[in-house]
């Protein structure tokens, strides 16, 4: 029998404090953070100019691609703004609350963090500002890292001194089918030697300075390079044998341990984004006058508000249910695939309607909706396109459609 979904008084109070920080401190900083992410990049490759400076100092040939600068370019190039937000989050006791206590986090139970993530997600910069951007990586490392790996990678990750990036997708083969991956790793003495070609490795321009890891460009997406979704060539990259996470041959299973909670966190963040778009839509409808009445008095606008409310409520309950099932130790494969495609579509629809109610203002950068819409569109692709999640749901349910559905 399933337990009802509950939120404790403590988590309600924490959500209120988090909302003050996100709405009052992070929201006003967003235009500056967006400008900084898009500027000071190389005009042809979209990569941070700091990468070129570091390559020049080393005397590298930048035409083949560039090694990481070896420091946190993103934090430095935020011109101190993101660093200020991180410091403020720490001052307010809001830093890394979901990471395990044993590695410097706040130790919030999974379900409490799920509720908190809904508030963090109101701003797309929220998760970096409060140190939760690496939650899914930290959960995976906490399960599988050796003591040496914990010290070397996990602690700086939780402290916000380094950022994770994940290189799975390759331009030559379908990223939605990991069995097609062409990158190879062969053991040579005490080192793995990696050769391959990746793209959409988000945040790769913050990578460590590793010979053979050649960052070629930040692939522009919908006219922007701020996400730093990079194309990277691995040319005989040598990695110490001891860096292998878990046992040889277990990589796919371990990566699933990262993706499951990650999808719940995405969906809760999306609910925060949808709630923000919903608020913007209602504010605008209550203040804009046309054809003899406020927009808020027109039937067509009522439909948009009501449809959005229904979709948000449904996605929220489905996401909390999936989180609850995962919290029992289950992989929750059907539940997670359901919320991944349903949540992404909900987000897209709600932001689209909010833009419509704003008229032309909705697609300007005077409002956050244009940025939010772009991110929402990506949500239907990353961590598995809609159709792959349809496939997972349908295949599982076809094996036992009378008793395997989440509502059975
Ligand atoms: C903003 C953004 C950030 C990303 N960040 C990362 C990252 O950090 N690291 C990383 O490795 N990757 C990242 N990705 C890549 C993402 O994971 C892939 O785009 C995704 O896995 C799909 O792979 P693909 O693009 O090669 O599309 P393909 O696999 O070529 O699929 C193309 C289309 O085919 C259809 N399709 C595929 N399979 C089926 C099926 N079984 N049934 C029906 N239709 C199907 C779908 O419509 C799909 O969209 C990111 C993508 C985006 C947009």
Q: Ligand 1: list residues with CB < 6 Å.
A: 166-169, 174-176, 200-202, 221, 227, 229, 378, 381-382, 385, 387-388, 391
Question: How many angstroms separate the alpha carbon of residue 384 from the centre of ligand 1?
Answer: 6
Cβ contact 94:17 at 8 Å: yes
Q: Looking at the chain, which residues constitute the CATH 1.20.140.10 domain(s)?
A: 251-399
Task: Tell me the Ramachandran region of residue 203: left when phi exceeds 0, alpha when psi lies from -120 to 50, beta otherwise.
Answer: left
Ligand 1: residue of 137, 168, 176 to mutate (most ligand atoms within 8 A of CB) is 176
Question: How many angstroms separate the alpha carbon of residue 382 from the centre of ligand 1?
Answer: 6
Cβ contact 261:139 at 8 Å: yes
Residue 51 tokens read as: 């990468």
Specify the pLDDT at position 79: 52
CA distance 73 to 388: 34
Q: Which CATH superfamily, name and number, covers 9-159? A: Acyl-CoA dehydrogenase/oxidase, N-terminal domain (1.10.540.10)
Question: How many angstroms separate the alpha carbon of residue 288 from the centre of ligand 1?
Answer: 40
Specify the pLDDT at position 74: 47
Cβ contact 372:353 at 8 Å: no
Which residue's alpha carbon is at the smallest distance from atom 28 of ligand 1?
174
Residues 6+ away with beta carbon under 8 Å from 216:
45, 64, 65, 66, 230, 231, 232, 233
Determine the Cα angle at 322 with ends 131 and 227, to 5°: 40
Q: How would you write the pLDDT of the chain (408 residues) with one tens digit per residue?
A: 445 567 899 999 999 999 999 999 999 999 999 988 888 899 999 999 988 988 888 888 888 899 887 655 544 554 579 999 999 999 999 999 999 888 889 999 999 999 999 999 999 999 999 999 988 888 888 889 999 998 888 888 898 888 889 999 999 999 999 999 999 999 999 999 999 999 999 999 988 889 999 999 999 999 999 999 999 999 999 999 999 999 999 988 898 888 888 899 999 999 999 999 999 999 999 999 999 999 999 999 999 999 999 999 999 999 999 999 999 999 899 999 999 999 999 999 999 999 999 999 999 999 999 999 999 999 999 999 999 999 999 999 999 999 889 998
Question: CA dist 343 to 101, 315, 319, Å?
Answer: 30, 6, 8
Specify the pLDDT at position 345: 98
User: Tokens 């996990």 identify what position?
Assistant: 154
CATH class assigned to 251-399: mainly alpha
Q: What is the side-by-side strand order in the sheet with 213-218?
A: 184-188, 191-202, 229-240, 213-218
SS3 255: helix
Q: Looking at the chain, which residues constitute the CATH 2.40.110.10 domain(s)?
A: 178-243
Which residue's alpha carbon is at the smallest distance from atom 13 of ligand 1?
200
Yes or no: domain 178-243 corresponds to CATH 3.30.390.30: no
What atom of ligand 1 comes closest to residue 168's alpha carbon? 11
Question: How many angstroms separate the alpha carbon of residue 156 from the centre of ligand 1?
Answer: 30
Q: Which of 230, 347, 358 is nearest to 286 (CA)?
A: 358
Q: Looking at the chain, which residues constitute the CATH 1.10.540.10 domain(s)?
A: 9-159
Question: How many angstroms separate the alpha carbon of residue 207 from the centre of ligand 1?
Answer: 22
Report residue 331 CA to chain centroid gap.
Answer: 20
Alpha helices in 71-134 (DSSP H): 73-77, 81-91, 110-120, 126-129
């Amino acid at each position: 029998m399933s337990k009802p979904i509950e939120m404790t008084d403590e988590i309600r109070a924490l959500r209120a404090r988090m909302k003050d920080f996100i709405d009052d401190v992070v929201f006003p900083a967003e235009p500056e953070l967006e400008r900084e992410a898009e500027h000071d990049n190389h005009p042809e490759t979209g990569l941070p100019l700091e990468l070129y400076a570091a390559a020049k100092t080393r005397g590298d040939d930048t035409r083949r691609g560039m090694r990481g600068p070896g420091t946190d370019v993103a934090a430095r190039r935020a011109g101190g703004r993101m660093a200020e937000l991180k410091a403020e989050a720490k001052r307010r006791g809001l830093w890394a609350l979901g990471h395990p206590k044993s590695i410097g986090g706040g130790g919030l139970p999974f379900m409490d963090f799920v509720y908190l993530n809904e508030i963090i997600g109101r701003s797309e910069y929220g998760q970096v500002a409060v140190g939760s951007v690496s939650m899914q990586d930290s959960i995976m490392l906490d399960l599988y890292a050796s003591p040496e790996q914990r010290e070397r990678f996990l602690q700086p990750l939780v402290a916000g001194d380094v950022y994770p990036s994940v290189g799975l997708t390759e331009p030559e083969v379908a990223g939605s089918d990991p069995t097609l991956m062409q990158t190879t790793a062969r053991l040579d003495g005490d080192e793995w030697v990696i050769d391959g070609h990746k793209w959409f490795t988000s945040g790769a321009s913050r990578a460590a300075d590793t010979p053979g890891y050649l960052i070629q460009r930040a692939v522009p997406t919908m006219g922007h390079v701020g996400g730093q979704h990079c194309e990277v060539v691995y040319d005989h990259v040598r990695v110490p044998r001891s860096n292998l996470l878990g046992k040889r041959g277990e990589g796919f299973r371990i990566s699933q341990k990262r993706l499951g909670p990650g999808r719940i966190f995405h969906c809760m963040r999306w609910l925060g984004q949808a709630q923000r778009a919903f608020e913007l839509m209602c504010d605008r409808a209550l203040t804009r006058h046309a054809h003899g009445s406020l927009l808020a008095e027109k039937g067509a606008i009522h439909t948009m508000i009501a449809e959005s409310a229904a979709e948000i409520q449904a996605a929220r309950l489905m996401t909390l249910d999936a989180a609850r099932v995962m919290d029992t130790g289950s992989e929750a494969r059907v539940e997670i695939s359901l919320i991944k495609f349903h949540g992404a579509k909900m987000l897209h629809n709600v932001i689209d309607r909010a833009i419509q109610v704003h008229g032309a203002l909705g697609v300007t950068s005077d409002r956050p909706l244009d940025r939010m819409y772009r991110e929402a569109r990506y949500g239907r692709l990353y961590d598995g396109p809609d159709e792959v999640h349809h496939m997972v749901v349908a295949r599982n349910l076809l094996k036992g459609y009378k008793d395997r559905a989440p509502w059975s």
